[in-house]
Structure 1
Amino acid sequence: MEKNIHEDCGVAMIRLLKPLEYYQEKHGTWMYALNKLYLMMEKQHNRGQEGAGMATVKMDTRPGNEYMFRERAEGKNAVTEIFGNVHKHFKPYSTNQLSDVQFAKEHLPFAGELYMGHLRYSTTGKSGLSYVHPFLRRNNWKAKNLCMCGNFNMTNIGDIFEKLTEQGQCPRKYSDTYLLLELMGHRLDREVERNFVDAQKQGLEKQAITRYIEEHVEMSNVLKTTMQDFDGGYVICGITGSGESFAIRDPWAIRPAFYYRSDEIVALASERPVLQTTFDLECEDITELRPGEALIVNRRGECSLKQIIPQRADAACSFERIYFSRGSDRDIYKEREKLGEQLTEPVMHAIDNDTDHTVLSFIPNTAEVAFYGLLHGFRKRIDSWKSEQIAALGPNPDRNEIEKIISRQVRSEKVAWKDIKLRTFITEGNSRNDLASHVYDITYESIRPDRDNLVIIDDSIVRGTTLRESILRILDRLHPRRIIVVSSAPQIRYPDYYGIDMPRLEEFCVFRATISLIEERGMESLLNEIYSRCLAELAKPKGETIENAVCAVYEPFTVNEINRRIVDMLRPEGMTTPVELVFQSIEGLHEAIPHHRGDWYFTGKYPTPGGMRLVNQAFVNFYEERKEALPQIGH
């Protein structure tokens, strides 16, 4: 996977269901939840390395005392930094004071019962501490304080902005995060006010009204009036100053979330192995949040599941399984292994079944499990061949012949090594490109020069930049007879708009190769036609079904035609070794990952209208920019 493709974000939540004294006595520290949150966030470091943040709510504080705390930081070491900053608050106190639960509750920040954490990867290109989750909406009343984080990207933010302005509102920022926070905060205000009126009707006064409100807030009301109109992939988490917490998943099931609840805690994370490792659980102990469903824990610690939005599709993201999520998940490991094994036949075809002169390897690190699957597939093929050959020897086989047959093995080596990281202080183009070509290193003499084929598997090929600038160039030093680059994912043809930072259409090597074929064959009229169709789709009124007109770009060409053109584009200058590409098929993807049907990266079948609208807009942008860049007659 290319180093500059950003993963989607990670979330983590813990709600203690018993008093802090319970955890001090059973686990030896009231910091039980704080420590577990740290583990959960570190275990999800793969999901966000641009920043991190956490927030805490301290329950049952007296009026006039602080009860909500937040810490945020930027950079790859942000998790370590924010928890280091939290612990700095504890340094002035003695060991006895820190083990005194009552002292901690009264005097120490972050000594709470409700914790929420976030790891950030930007999908917008915006950076700075102000963009790091969680976001906080303050108010003097506890119940009106809202802290929110999420793994999301909304595709219809323009529609939401228009709806708010039509009501007379004046949003200060045009971003999905800000609008979501303000809209949800507004609905929380209304929920608090509803309870205020009820409390007054009952004759309550002063702090009695406040207590009544905090005990009767219904977060499901807030979520139902907030989330109905949003289009996109999301898991949104939130906590209130009065101790309510929630996590809601999008109704298309695009982004994942898993939770665990016992009589001690309720915990949620973006990935199942995170909960398993942190709390020493089995797979069966953990439940996946359903599409459109919210996990809500009220102030009293009562946990419930509410269907906020009816399920609208079954489009769980398959790219989560191929690359973004941790491979230590039981099911993801098996799926990645299956993806690799299913490539056995096309790879065998690419090497002309010459396993004696072929070495299998992988590009570190996320393709390793798919490599094991491919290795397993080769072994099964060779074992089958051995059985046939031994059976053909007859009833009295020669021992030497048998030994010769059974000695045939699959050859595999660790050929590529991830060696260095390009530092951002080097900005000059030629220097940067030269360093980029050395990101990977090779195991010298791991193959026989000019005799062995080299098969190297990656999880996916997106831009092709790493192949061109580094991998092919350095593998060529081994002088293989042929290089077969294998992708465990199908050809990536379309951008993502649901929380993963994927490039524009023209940055995909598959798209660029296809446009090159169109130009070569004089099919410019096809691009004009697709442009017109995209404009027509974008002009459709809200509510009308939108089609993906961009799919027509690929229809005139076979996968192999596009593969050959990609090789021509990505081959470094001076490289003479023949190169072939082998991609996973769409059918193979569905067979290996049957329960995650979100395949829009490969097929263009976006599950939401917003996704369809944005991919058509992406082609319009490409076409118009390209037209402007072409030489104009008469100028």
Structure 2
Amino acid sequence: MEPLKHECGVAMIRLLKPLEYYQEKYGTWMYGLNKLYLLMEKQHNRGQEGAGLACVKLQANPGEEYMFRERGLGSGAITEIFGTVHGYFKELTPEQMADAEYAKQCLPFAGELYMGHLRYSTTGKSGISYVHPFLRRNNWRAKNLALCGNFNLTNVDEIFADITAAGQHPRKYADTYIMLEQVGHRLDREVERLYNECKAEGLEGMDITHTIEDRIDITNVLKTSTPKWDGGYVICGLTGSGEAFAVRDPWGIRPGFWYMDDEIMVLASERPVIQTVLNVPADSINELLPGQAIWVNKKGQMRLEQINEPKKKKACSFERIYFSRGSDMDIYRERKLLGQKLVDPILKVIDYDVVHTVFSFIPNTAEVAFYGMLEGFDNYLNQLKVQRIEALGHKPSHTELEQILSQRIRSEKVAIKDIKLRTFIAEGNTRNDLAAHVYDVTYGSLVPYADNLVIIDDSIVRGTTLKQSIISILDRLHPKKIVIVSSSPQVRYPDYYGIDMASMEQFIAFRAAIALLEDRGMRRVIEDAYRKSKEQVGLPKEEMVNYVKEIYAPFTDEEISRKMVELLTPVGTQAKVEIVYQTLDGLHEACPDHEGDWYFSGDYPTPGGVKLVNKAFIDYIEQIYQF
């Protein structure tokens, strides 16, 4: 209901034929540039704060630019940066635009390697200097590096200490700059290793340059720069000499998919994006595996290499619930199954009265789970119909059959999101009043004071929009009961791998658990969890334990949900309000290949996650309590 800001999106293209080939076959040498635009637009959901692209030409002469970059800020950044690129071509004649050889020699962004990035800030740092791709320049073509990624590191402090101890001086204390310096430093060493090798062989001048570019091995660079990265990532890079690469974290937290034929290699954060843009079947698209890198060298030869030892796979389940496009066939099926698995708990809270219940959803990401929920209730109703028909005996009358078979699950589009209001909701005294009107309702969609209203959302994290808007606006329809359903489990812990939830107090589940402990005179549980967390501050992160789990341990999920209702129901609400959450078991049954559930379970896949949740809990307690 309150949108989560999340991980970025990446796109990378390596054309495997000369530009003349695409001009002849597709009518334009801009084939790669156009495909990059589509890959980025189809992933626009992953980046509303900025966008950037980079391009590398393979055959530039000394003195000619061969590496280009354009970046922009805001939700319209994709249109802006591609408009800027096309602005370089607006004065050209039709003949020049159709001349691939002229484009290669004279035009910016007319290259064979492209990389795009969509930014969603998770650190609070903003501005054009934080928009990817980042560039590291050098007079040696092979030492030039453009880097972008969908990532968040948990141990920036450790890595910063390591590289400064080695004599490096990063320009900014930010994970992207630090990663750029790390990879760039190892790229420098790889080039220097090859330079010495060439000199030993008696090579001179441009022969050395060309031999270095032919022999460079990006896997050497990645194997020496990435092992200490703790976090989730898919990092993409281009070098000035024509290497294209991408590497994924060893836990498989962040997603990456690739496709290759004899014309093109493409990598993106989401599978259906590649399917749509290239019109290829899903089974021709490969997942980049945990700890694996894909690399295409200057000659267009592709290699897959295991860079870091794969850990137990903990692919992000929020990708399946919320963030990725629902057009992926597996994600669509999983989201429907998440909805189906909520039928039994919903039946309990509506006292099995489906006749007097209207089902709906919060637009727009919960729509697929809503369809799954409806299918589940259709199946339930069909079973009821069979039982009632069997109970009539062998010769039921037409009227009796018609009465039974005419029963339907009642579904309506009750909630409507008024997106226009988002643009001018301001801070200050008017914010809450304006926020209350972000959603509208369809009047007359249920029978007042007689019908229950069941409304499903993909997740309930902070509960802010529920309290400020949704419950009050739904109550205007005068339902007997409002049942808010979450297709995901209770979000109890911060994420440190790319989602913008890093502090404890923003979680309504955490606030509810703390309130229950206070209500029941159990503050000692809070004190003990704080003391244990504080005692391990000086330990290596690998030895730390997530003691925040002890805050939730005394209570059932249902107890916490009931307390949430107390905290979130606005004063004056007439309908009874209940909240139903997905179970952890239900999540794993629906999404068996994406076991990353740390936001629900507290089981962080990396030591850095445990270290940061420990810090977040201590910060919260020291801000609220005086232990």
**Does 2:80 align with 1:90?**
no
Matched ranges for 1:51-130 at <5 A: 51-130=50-129
CA distance in 1, matches of 2:181, 2:506: 34
Partner of 1:545: 543
- Tell me which amino acid in the other structure corresponds to 2:490: Q
Distance (whole Å) between structure 1 residues aligned to residue 477 and residue 358 of structure 2: 12
Match of 1:572 in 2: 570
Structure 1 residues 421-440: aligned runs within 5 Å: 421-423=420-422, 427-440=426-439
Offset of residue 572 of structure 1: 1.2
Instruction: Report whether the alignment pairs 1:372 with 2:371.
Output: yes
Q: Secondary structure at the match of 1:429?
A: coil
Deviations 1:412-470 (Å, cap 9, x if unpaired)? 00000111344565534222211111011110010000000000000000000011111
Residue ranges of structure 2 left out of the alignment (5+ in a row): none
TM-score (norm: length of structure 2): 0.99
Alpha-carbon distance in structure 1 between the residues aligned to 2:106 and 2:539: 59
Instruction: Give the structure 1 partner of residue 181 of structure 2.
Output: 182
The separation in 1 between residues aligned to 2:523 and 2:551, in whole angstroms, is 11
Give the letter for the 2:586 counterpart: G
Structure 2 distance, partners of 1:72, 1:571, is: 44
Shift in alpha-carbon separation, 1:426–1:315, aligned structure 2, 3 A:
closer
- Equivalence for 2:149: 150
Residues 1:294 and 2:293 aligned together: yes
Q: CA offsets, 1:334-358, max 9 Å, x none?
A: 0000000000010011110101100
Q: Please report how far the alpha carbon of residue 249 of structure 1 lies from its aligned counterpart in structure 2 after TM superposition.
A: 0.2
Q: CA deviation at 1:199?
A: 1.2
Equivalent-residue separation in structure 1 for 2:252 and 2:54 (angstroms): 26
* Cα distance in 1 for residues equivalent to 2:185 and 2:501: 32
Question: In the alignment, what sits opposite 1:2?
Answer: 2
Of 609, 612, 619, which residue of structure 1 is paired with 2:610?
A: 612
Specify whether residues 391 and 423 from structure 1 end up closer, same or farther in structure 2 by C-alpha distance, changes over 3 A only.
closer
Does the CA-based 8 Å contact 1:295-1:303 persist in structure 2? yes
> Is 2:212 aligned against 1:239?
no
Name the CA distance, whole Å, in 1 between partners of 2:387 and 2:547: 50
Asked if the contact 1:420–1:438 (Cα under 8 Å) also holds between the matched residues in 2, the reply is: no
Counterpart-to-counterpart distance in 2, 1:371 and 1:210: 59
| Partner SS state of residue 469, structure 1 | helix
Residues 179-233 of structure 1, C-alpha deviations (whole Å, 9 max, x = no match)? 1101110110001111111111121111111111111110000000000111000
CA positional deviation for 1:313? 1.8
The 5 Å alignment of 1:439-450 reads 439-450=438-449
Residues in 2 aligned to 1:68 and 1:503: alpha-carbon distance in whole angstroms = 36
Equivalent residue letter for 1:551: K
**Aligned partners of 2:125, 2:188: CA distance in 1, in Å?**
29
User: Structure 1 CA distance, aligned partners of 2:447 and 2:422?
Assistant: 34
Which is further off, 417-426 or 380-389?
A: 417-426
**Structure 1: tracts of 5 or more residues without a match:** 631-635
2:132·2:148 contact (CA, 8 Å) conserved in 1?
A: yes
Q: Percent identity?
A: 61
Displacement of 1:503? 4.3
1:174 to partner: Cα distance: 1.4
Query: Which position in structure 2 is the counterpart of 1:335?
Result: 334
CA displacement at 1:312 relative to structure 2: 1.5
Letter paired with 2:546: N
Matched residue, 2:530: 531
2-structure distance, mates of 1:538, 1:563: 32
Indicate if the aligned counterparts of 2:294 and 2:304 stay in contact, CA closer than 8 A.
yes
1:548 counterpart SS class: coil
User: In 1, Cα distance between the equivalents of 2:10 and 2:97?
Assistant: 28
Question: Match of 1:126, as an amino acid?
Answer: K
Q: 1:587 aligns with which of 580, 585, 588?
A: 585
Q: Give me the whole-angstrom Cα distance separating, in 2, the residues matched to 1:522 and 1:171.
A: 50
Query: What's the CA shift for 1:539?
Result: 2.5
Residues 615-626 of structure 1: pairs in structure 2 closer than 5 A: 615-626=613-624
User: Alpha-carbon deviations, 1:69-115, whole Å to 9, x = none?
Assistant: 00000000100110000000001111110110111111110000000
Secondary structure of the residue aligned to 1:49 is coil
Deviates more, 1:527-536 or 1:586-595: 527-536
Counterpart-to-counterpart distance in 2, 1:421 and 1:183: 44
Residues 502 and 616 in structure 2, CA contact (< 8 A), matched pair in contact too:
no
| Separation (CA, whole Å) in 1 of partners of 2:329 and 2:424 | 40
**Any conservation in 1 of the 2:253–2:315 contact (CA below 8 Å)?**
yes
Aligned residue for 2:625, secondary structure, equals helix
> Displacement of 1:169 after TM fit?
3.0
Q: Distance in 2 between matches of 1:423 and 1:333?
A: 27
Counterpart residue number, 1:193: 192
Deviation sequence 1:234-290 (CA, Å, 0-9, x none):
000000000001000000110000000001111000000000000001110100000
Kindly state the Cα deviation for residue 533 of structure 1 after the two structures are TM-superposed.
1.0
Check whether the contact 1:10–1:118 (CA below 8 A) recurs between aligned residues: yes
